[in-house]
Amino acid sequence: MNELGKYLREQTIRKEEEANLLKRNDKYRLKLHLMPKTGWMNDPNGLCQINGVYHVFFQYSPLDARGGMKAWGHYTSKDLINWECQEAPLFPDMPYDKDGVYSGCALVNKDIMYLFYTGNVKHEGDYDYILRGREANTVLVTSEDGIHFSDKELLMTNKDYPKKYTCHIRDPKVWKENDTFYMIQGGRTKEDKGVALLFTSKDLYHWEYDKEITTDEMFGYMWECPDYFEVQKEKILSISPQGLEVEKFRFQNIYQSGYFKVNGNITKDCSLEDFTEWDMGYDFYAPQTFEDEKGRRILIGWAGVPDAPYDNEPTVHYGWQHALTFPREITVVDGKVLQNPVEEILSLRKGSFIIPSNKKVKVQQDIFELDIETEVNIPCIIEYICGVEKVIISYQEGILSLSLTKEAGRGRELRKLKVEKLEHMQIFVDTSMMEIYVNQGEFVLTTRFYFEGEDRSIRIEGSKENILWTLNEMQGL
Ligand code: FRU
C-alpha cells in the first residue's frame, strides 16, 4: 500500500474507533446482518471461502455515511455466524483507481486468492456521457492468507475494450472452466443498451475480449454486477440492470437485480430466457454469488439500492448506512430457482413459542424469526407493530403485498407481487431490517424499517400455525 493508501487507512481506523462510541445508543444497529463499522456500505465484493475461512468484502465509504470515496471493507468468518471485521484492505490510492476501488470478485485458484475489481477514474466535466470521460480499469490484487495483499496490478484499460461500448464497463466476475478463465463485466453500448462482456485468459493476468452477451430486445441501458454460475445443471446469468420500466407487479425499485436462465453455452452460443428478480423487497441490489467448500452456491446481496428515493435513512444520524443480506443458498427444485438462508442461520435459534392467531401479542425481543404456515386460498395478514407504526404483510387472491407506515418506511409504501399459492412464510426480523422468504424460497422480500419505540407486538390473522423463534445475535458485527 502506498503513502496515500496508508493515510486513508489511518483515517478509516480513526473513524471506526469513533464509531464505537456511538454504538451504545443506536437502536437501529443490526444484530443479524453485516453492516459497516462506520460510514456507507454497498455491494458485496470478493465473496469466497479459502482454507475454511469465508471472506466477505464490500464497497465501503468509511468517511461518510452518505457515500463518497469507495474502498473495500472486509469481514471474515469460519461459520457465517461469528464474524470478524478486518482492516479495510483496498483504498483508491493509484492513478488508475483514484475515484474508487469499485466492485469486483474473488477467484480462489491453487490456494491463492485473486481479487479483480474496477479502478474507477472520473475526468473533469461530464464523465457519464462523454466517452473519454471515465476510465474503467480492471485491476488485480492477490493474497495467500486473505489478510495480506499484494500490490495492485493494472490488467486492462479502456483501450482493451471494443469501441462500440461507452466507458461504462465494470464489476468483473471471474470463473474457471477446464483450463480457461472467463471474466464477465457489465457494460453499456453507445446505443445505451445493457450488455455483459466476456473475456478469456489462460493465466489470470492476460485477458482478451471474446464476445458480448445480451438480450435480443433492449433490456435496460446498463447492466451492473454480472455473475454467471451453474446450480444443479441450471445455468444462470445474474445482472443488475438499470433503466427498466416499472410494471404493476415487477421492477418496482429504481434499479433491479435478477437472473436469466441460459440456454446453450455462455462461452459459445447461448440464448437468455425471461428475467426473474432475485428479491421483490425495497432494499436489494448488486448480489454476488460464490461456491463454498461444501459445494453450496451462496448469494449475498446489498440491502440497499443506488439512487433510491429513501434519502432520509435515520441510521445516518448514527454514522452509518446500509447492510448486506443473509448469505442465501441457491438451489434448483423442479426447475425453480430457490433462495433460503444458509442452514447456519438456523443455528441462531434459541427457543420457540406458538403465537396465537387473531390476537395482538407483545414481543420481548427486537430480533426473531416467524415461521408461518398459511391456509391455501385464505387471506392472511401479518402485522409487526410499534405504536402507530407498522410493517404489514398481507395476502389475498393471489397477491402478496408489503406495506410500511410513514415513519417506519421513510418512503417505502406499498409493494405487490403475484404469488399463485401462498403456503409458507419465514420472516427474519432484525432491529431495522426484515427478510421475508415465501414458499421455501420461491420469493424473497428484503426491507429496511425504522421503529422508534421499544414496545413491539405482532398480530397474525388467517394462518394455520405460527411459531416465533427467539434468536441469538451474530457475533462480531
Ligand atoms: C453497483 C455499483 C457498481 C460499482 C459500485 C460502486 O451498486 O454501481 O456498478 O462498481 O456500485 O460503488
Closest CA relative to residue 415, chosen from 298, 307, 282: 282
For residue 43, indicate whether it is catalytic: yes
Minimum CA distance residue for ligand 1 atom 6:
102
Smallest CA separation from ligand 1 atom 9, residue? 224
Distance CA 306, CA 410 (A): 16
Residue from 98, 82, 80 nearest 5 by CA: 98
d(CA 281, CA 400): 11
Cβ distance 366 to 352 under 8 Å?
A: no
- Strand pairing category for 180-189 and 336-341: unpaired
The answer to whether 50 touches 114, Cβ cutoff 8 Å, is no
Q: Among candidates 378, 372, 413, which has minimal Cα distance to 395?
A: 378
Which residues make beta-bridge pairs with 231?
234
Q: Which atom of ligand 1 is nearest to the CA of 120?
A: 10
Rounded to the nearest whole angstrom, what is the distance from the C-alpha of residue 95 to the centroid of ligand 1? 19
pLDDT score for 259: 98
Identify any residues that bridge with 43 across adjacent strands, giving them in sequence order: none
pLDDT of residue 126: 66
Q: Which three cell numbers stand for residue 137?
A: 480499469
Strand positions, DSSP E, 342-462: 349-354, 360-363, 368-374, 380-386, 389-396, 399-404, 414-418, 424-430, 433-438, 443-448, 456-461
pLDDT under 70: residue ranges of the chain = 126-132, 311
- Alpha-carbon separation of residue 273 from 236, 237, 262 (angstroms): 10, 10, 6
What number does the ligand 1 atom closest to the CA of 117 have?
10
C-alpha of residue 43 to centroid of ligand 1, in Å: 7
**Atom of ligand 1 lying closest to residue 104 CA:** 10
How many angstroms does the Cα of residue 102 sit away from the middle of ligand 1?
Answer: 6
Q: What is the DSSP letter of 314?
A: G
Which residue among 43, 227, 279, 430 is the active-site one? 43
Ligand 1 pocket at CB < 6 A: 42-43, 59, 70, 102-103, 118, 170-171, 224-225, 285-286, 306
| CA distances, 418 to each of 175, 280, 397, 438 (Å) | 35, 10, 9, 12
Q: Mutate which of 102, 184, 239, 305 to test ligand 1's pocket (most atoms within 8 Å of Cβ)? A: 102
Nearest CA to ligand 1 atom 8: 224
What pTM, to 2 d.p., does this model score?
A: 0.97
For Cα atoms 161, 45, 268, give the angle at the middle one, nearest 5 degrees. 45
155 CA → ligand 1 middle, Å: 19
Classify each residue of 401-433 as buried b or exposed e, where b means 16 or more C-beta atoms within 10 Å of its C-beta: bbbbbeebbbebeebbbebeebebbbbbbbbbb
Domains in the chain, CATH or no CATH each: 3-340 (2.115.10.20), 348-471 (2.60.120.560)
Minimum-distance ligand 1 atom for the alpha carbon of 306: 7
Expressed in angstroms and rounded, the spacing between residue 414 Cα and the centre of ligand 1 is 27
